Amino acid sequence: MKKCMRNILLLSLVISSSICFSQEWSGNSRIRVENHQIGNEIYNYNKDSQLNSTNRSRLGIEWSGDKWSMNMIGNYYYKFQDGHNDLNSTGNASVYEASISTELPYDITLSAGRMALNYGDGRIIGNDNWGNNGRAHDGFVIRYEYEDLIKIDIGTDAVERDSNKDWAYVYISREVDNFNIDGAYLIANEEINYAKHTMGIALDFNTMDSKLDLGFDYWNQTWYETANVENKDETAGLMAISINYALNEKISVGGGMDMFSETNGGKWNASWGDYHQFNGAMDIASKEFEDDGAWNDLYFNLGYDLNTWGLVGLAYHMMFADDEELGGNEIDISLTNALNDHINYGFGYSMFTPNKDSDNFNWMYLQISATP
């Protein structure tokens, strides 16, 4: 009798658990091969090896119920081509996300745990999806959302897990018809030697039946130590404008300009944002202009839809500063395509030609991603 009752209770628990909450599995695995032909020191790779092959796999599970949800995602990163070390290497496994969210009164949602934060284009706060380990933060986020018109996030990262600890932010987003406004204010711990306060606004306007898209960003950074202790105005700024237009269903054109400025030696430092626009445009420039905080990136792009063959992208960058020896020109070519609902791939090639008398930098990659 007791055994029968125990089985009935166990069955009731399983049924009630299935009714009270649902669970969903997710997974993704990708392999990327990169080749740097010249200038490996820019990418901090061994000069004796120009080929870099990696695998990143993620497996996650999410539980959700009435006004609550939980999720956990594991990240596994493996680097190939270490010779005989490949046989003994177990890779690098880590917890990418582990958080819980609950709905509170007055349209407020509270999330806490380890979270991969990403806002807008990721320029200010991004999750570094290009990287093999990604970027996540341990803390909490309070969100207020009113009828899809305005979203206000207040968050913090207060756990000493990496160099991005001890910071807080407020992020506001509002979308009205075809007009979107994003604003943010980030506060860093003044005890960190690169502590900075970042604030700014991003505007996006879509018109002409969604054919024309106009963007404008302005962000400013102030260093706590120099501004409030030494009474010295050391700041860095970023102003960006962009325009994109769809000529027809297959062809789109666009362009823009990113303008970095500095005062008293301040240099733009996006510690929480994503550097990687496509390849070298930001990665190479961060090294090329490391001694000059004021520089510009003027670019033009073209996109062409090849239907079943994928989407081809072509971009041309002109990067320059007051010092004419700095900067150079860059050509980016890309192809992305989905073979089916589970497998997609991407290919890219870049060539950067410095203004100063030195060899070109060439970079290419091939990436295949599979999702169950």
Instruction: Read off the pLDDT of residues 257-296 as tens digits, 9 standing for 90 and up.
Output: 999 888 877 777 776 777 655 555 556 666 667 667 788 9
Q: How far apart are CA 26 and CA 371, in angstroms?
A: 8
What is the three-class DSSP state of 90?
Answer: coil
Mean pLDDT (whole number) for 310-333: 89
* Position 247, amino acid: L
1-5, 106-110, 193-197, 298-302 — which is least confidently predicted? 1-5
In the chain the beta strands, taken as DSSP E runs, fall at: 21-36, 51-65, 68-79, 92-104, 108-115, 137-146, 150-157, 167-176, 179-188, 196-207, 212-223, 235-246, 251-263, 295-305, 311-321, 328-338, 343-354, 361-370
115-129, 153-167, 181-195, 293-307 — which is least confidently predicted? 153-167
Sign of CA dihedral 88, 92, 95, 97: negative
165-174, 190-199, 256-265, 303-312 — which is least confidently predicted? 190-199
Q: How far apart are CA 365 and CA 36, in angstroms?
A: 9
Pairing, β 179-188 against β 196-207:
antiparallel
Task: Please name the helix (run of DSSP H) or strand (run of DSSP E) that holds residue 14, with its range, or none.
Answer: helix 2-20
Is residue 299 over pLDDT 70? yes
Beta bridge partners of 223: 196
The total of other beta-carbon atoms located within 10 Å of residue 149's CB is 10
> What does DSSP assign to residue 177?
T
5 pLDDT tier (thresholds 50, 70, 90):
very low
Q: How far apart are CA 253 and CA 266, in angstroms?
A: 34
- Report the mean per-residue pLDDT for the chain: 81
Beta bridge partners of 57: 29, 76
Query: Residue 13: what are its φ and ψ, rounded to 5°?
Result: -65, -45
How confident is the model at residue 13, as a pLDDT?
41
Instruction: Read off the pLDDT of residues 89-128 as tens digits, 9 standing for 90 and up.
Output: 668 889 999 999 999 999 999 999 999 998 888 888 888 8
Is residue 41 over pLDDT 90? no
- For residue 81, CA distances in Å to 84, 104, 209, 289, 368 come to 9, 50, 49, 31, 18
Mean pLDDT (whole number) for 338-346: 92
Put simply, whether the predicted model's pTM sits higher than 0.75 gets the answer: yes
Cβ burial of 289 (10 Å; 0-12, 13-18, 19+) is buried
Q: How far apart are CA 154 and CA 45, in angstroms?
A: 38
Instruction: Tell me how many degrees the CA angle 297-303-309 measures, rounded to the nearest 5.
Output: 140
Instruction: Read off the pLDDT of residues 49-91 as tens digits, 9 standing for 90 and up.
Output: 467 788 999 999 999 888 899 999 999 998 886 545 555 566 8
Q: How far apart are CA 202 and CA 347, in angstroms?
A: 30
How confident is the model at residue 358, as a pLDDT?
67
Task: Name which residue leads in pLDDT, 326 or 247.
Answer: 247
Share of the chain above pLDDT 90, in %: 39
Q: How far apart are CA 48 and CA 204, in angstroms?
A: 45
